[in-house]
Chains A and B, each alone.
Chain A
Amino acid sequence: MSRDDENKTGTRRPARLLAIALTALAGLATALWPHWQTRMPQPGSAGLVRVTDETGRAVAVPQPVRRIVSLAPNLTETLFALGLGERVVGVTDYCDYPPEAAAKEHVGGPVTPNLERIARLRPDLVVATRAGGNRLSTVHSLETLGIAVFATDPHSVDEVIVSTERLGELAGANEQGRLMAAGLRSRLSEISERLSGSELTRVLLVVWPEPLITVGRNTFIADALRRAGAENVIQTAQDWPNASLEEVARRRPEYLIFASDHSDQTNRKIAELGGLPGWRSLDAMRNKRVIVLGEAIARPAPRLVDVIETLARTLHPERFSLEVTSAPMPAPPSALPQSPEGTR
């Protein structure tokens, strides 16, 4: 068949040409390869500190740490609380607390930060967290670029405090970190002293109303609730379970607690939910036992303890009205941008 023959010969010649072109390309790539391998020159540093971060990765952090990029709002807060704000050179688009943090150079969102921006800032240390939406691939990419990344992974209030202390140590604020940790711990033990003997209030923490997302028992949020004298009615091994409203109705939470950055929107949403079947028949909704907490409840940073205090006072006011003889009253939670509403 002539058409077949034509095709066959037609294939061979371009095939050979293509092969030559490809070989040339591969050769070029090989020639350039050594230049791509050039690694970042190590900064002239006093040395490296080798630590294992909270996700189990070995990290070598150049010392002293002068330039830090934070990849999550909670880490930015922690660094500023430790007095390291001056050394923070890059933050994410969502780092809004303290307000001066937002003036730092932005490197994108926590989930999709821009590697180029981060690299140009020449950080000695990038801090990331598994609890704040950073992706593993971002951490690996930075590692590939020779940038030290310390990732935190707190599952309890204690671990949040330990993370704070460790960040202080790594970045050269040991004393600050130790003092802050001691202060936070004593405030927590004061709360637990006041709450001792009282029953846990049964609550439902609503991360997202539709679909209903709440928190699992291994999260720092569930632990913060326990410390404030509350217990989430949904207890799962998953961290952000999609809970069934039927199960919630059966467990009869006394309070609904909403975690939110925008209280107006949330209040509107709550009013809307109050008219929906299922939600409207929950006792907590009918009795208007609804609390809206600011974004700090969802951020594993020192401000979490402020939220715990506020929540404990709201849920167990009788425990805080009694004057305990020796200990002074804890400071009013003025640092909270939003005070809890509800309990009317």
Chain B
Amino acid sequence: MRPLTLRRTVWTCVFLAAVLLVVVLLALRLGAVPFSLGDLGENLWWLASGQSERISTDFRLIMVEIRLPRILLGILVGAALSVAGAGFQALLRNPLADPYVLGVSSGAAVGAIVSMLAAPAYPWVTPLAAFLGAGATITGVYFLGRREGQLDSGTLLLAGIISASFLSAIIIFLMTTLASRDIRGIAFWLMGDLSAALPPGLLWIFVVFFFAATGAIYTTASDLNLLLGGEREAMHLGVDVTRVKLVVYVSASVLTGLAVSVSGAIGYVGLLVPHVIRMLFGSDYRLLIPTAALGGAIAVVFADTLARTVVAPTELPVGAMTAIAGAPVFIYLLRRRLT
């Protein structure tokens, strides 16, 4: 692979951003309620230039209130999941690691289920409870995964997997005993679903946290490159391994918690996108993190567009779409690289 230059970083990101833009336009155009391209352009221009009084009511309702926020949420969730996945893959030095491997999604699901049972009347309670559930799991796994005072990849992985299966068992228990009629909601939640319209404030909080956590991981990018060669070697090269691991662990967990709390556990994105990006652009984390963010956004927005339109007006959970579309792409790239 050619050495990474600033020029290549920027151009790769610009290229992916352009792809994302195309996918977003496609996503805006397609949906259960069709809009012509002319309408779309005209109204979007009015929206961007502040002439909101000229926007048609249909457009305001369907585009501005439903479709656009959903696409933005898809971008954020996809970006968060793939950055988190890339982070966990480096932290655990395991190519099979994904954002959910340490049980964050299961913890969030437990939080969400409890909130659905306890306070069904308030829409913002579920994401909040899910995030708290994720936070509790992260903290628990952190203390279980330490060895001699610092995070140890092997111990962390085992502690996370055990916590994940323990929490999944609790979910099944809760679903079969307590939750009765809201059970379908929870099943969708576990599969990953972007259809819920979020209170706008939550989206905004997500944006802030996303940039903070992604920025934090990005500052450790060159250290992560060295860490991939082995922990001891990295330490000899002057990397503060303990700090780097802590930063990556907390940031990746926060990103996962955010994504899961608003959209449930959307599968495969966090596992596949970083690998696909590596196959396409190399495994230097300085390039991998921004490109994985863009790639994740592209993947989720694309998958969600399919989920919205394939059997419209009924919607599929986006998690089913990411799995169906993701696996073949991954296998293709894997085989191509081998031959």
**What is the interface of chain A, defined by CB distance below 8 A to chain B?**
1, 4, 7-8, 10-11, 13-15, 17-19, 22, 26, 29, 32-33, 35-38, 40-41, 55-57, 93, 106-109, 111-117, 119-120, 122, 130-131, 133, 135-138, 140-145, 216, 238-240, 242
Q: Which of B19-37 contact A (CB under 8 A)?
A: 31-33
Q: Is B195 an interface residue (CB 8 A)?
A: yes
The B interface, classified by DSSP as helix, strand, loop or mixed, is: helix
Chain B interfacial residues counted at CB < 8 A: 65
Q: Which residue of B lies closest to A239 (CB)?
A: B180
Decide: B196 and A141 in contact? CB cutoff 8 A: yes
Q: Is the CB–CB distance between B10 and A114 below 8 Å?
A: no
Whether B66 and A145, one on each chain, are in contact in the complex, defined by CB atoms closer than 8 angstroms, is: yes
User: With an 8 A cutoff between CB atoms, is B225 at the interface?
Assistant: yes
Binding-face segment, B53-61, B85-93, B131-139, B240-248:
B53-61
Interface contacts beyond A4-B238, A119-B62, A137-B196: sample of 20 additional A-B pairs, CB < 8 Å, sorted by A: A7-B225, A11-B221, A18-B290, A22-B211, A33-B204, A37-B200, A57-B121, A108-B312, A112-B316, A114-B315, A115-B195, A116-B66, A116-B67, A135-B185, A137-B123, A137-B193, A141-B123, A238-B177, A240-B181, A242-B176
Of B61, B180, B218, B222, which one neighbours A240 at CB under 8 angstroms?
B180
Instruction: With CB as the reference atom, state the residue of chain B lying closest to A131.
Output: B181
The residue on B at minimum CB distance from A21 is B13
A144 to B127, CA, bound (A): 14
Closest B residue, CB atoms, query A129 = B181
Residues on B with beta carbons closer than 8 Å to the beta carbon of A10: 4, 6, 222, 286
Q: How far is the CA of A109 from the CA of B315 in the complex (A)?
A: 8
CB distance from A104 to the nearest CB of B (A): 12
Known: A11-B221, A93-B314, A112-B314. A38 touches B215 (CB 8 A): no
Interface residues of B (CB under 8 A from A): 4, 6, 9-10, 31-33, 47-48, 50, 52, 57-58, 60-62, 64-69, 116, 120-121, 123, 126, 176-177, 180-185, 188-189, 193, 195-200, 204, 207, 211, 215, 218-219, 221-222, 225-226, 237-238, 286, 290, 308, 312-317
Q: A15-B219, A136-B182 are in contact. Are A116 and B33 (CB under 8 A)?
A: yes
A137 touches B126 (CB 8 A): yes
Q: Across the interface, name the chain B residue whose C-beta is closest to A238.
A: B180
Is B121 touching A55 in the complex (CB atoms < 8 A)? yes
Which residue of B is nearest A109, CB measured? B314
Report if A119-B222 is in contact (Cβ < 8 Å); known contacts: A14-B9, A108-B315. Answer: no
A130 touches B182 (CB 8 A): yes
21 contacts between A and B (CB under 8 A): A7-B222, A8-B222, A10-B4, A10-B222, A13-B6, A18-B290, A32-B47, A36-B69, A37-B200, A56-B121, A112-B315, A113-B313, A113-B314, A114-B312, A115-B195, A117-B32, A119-B61, A136-B185, A137-B189, A137-B196, A143-B123
Are B65 and A239 in contact (CB-based, < 8 A)?
Answer: no
Closest chain-A Cβ to B4's Cβ sits at a distance in Å of 6
Q: What chain A residues lie within 8 Å of B58 (beta carbons)? A: 120
A41 to B53, CA, bound (A): 11
CB distance from B206 to the nearest CB of A (A): 11
Q: Considering the chains assembled together, what is the distance between the CA atoms of A57 and B122 in angstroms?
A: 9
> How far in angstroms is the closest Cβ of chain A from B226?
7
Is B64 within 8 A of A114, CB to CB? no
Task: Please determine whether B196 and A38 come into contact, CB atoms closer than 8 angstroms.
Answer: no
Which residue of chain A is the closest to B53 with respect to CB atoms? A38
Q: Report whether A115 and B66 are in contact in the complex, using a CB–CB cutoff of 8 Å.
A: yes
The residue that B184 contacts in the complex, of A11, A32, A111, with Cβ under 8 A, is A111
Q: Which of B69, B204, B219, B315 has the most CB of A within 10 A?
A: B315
Cα distance, A203 to B94, chains bound together (Å): 55
A239 touches B181 (CB 8 A): yes
**Which residues on A sit within 8 Å (CB–CB) of B68?**
36
What is the CA–CA distance of A331 and B233 in the complex, to the nearest angstrom? 87
Closest-CB distance, A183 to chain B (whole angstroms):
28
Q: Which residues of B contact A22 (CB under 8 A)?
A: 211, 215
Q: Is the CB of B185 within 8 A of A137?
A: yes
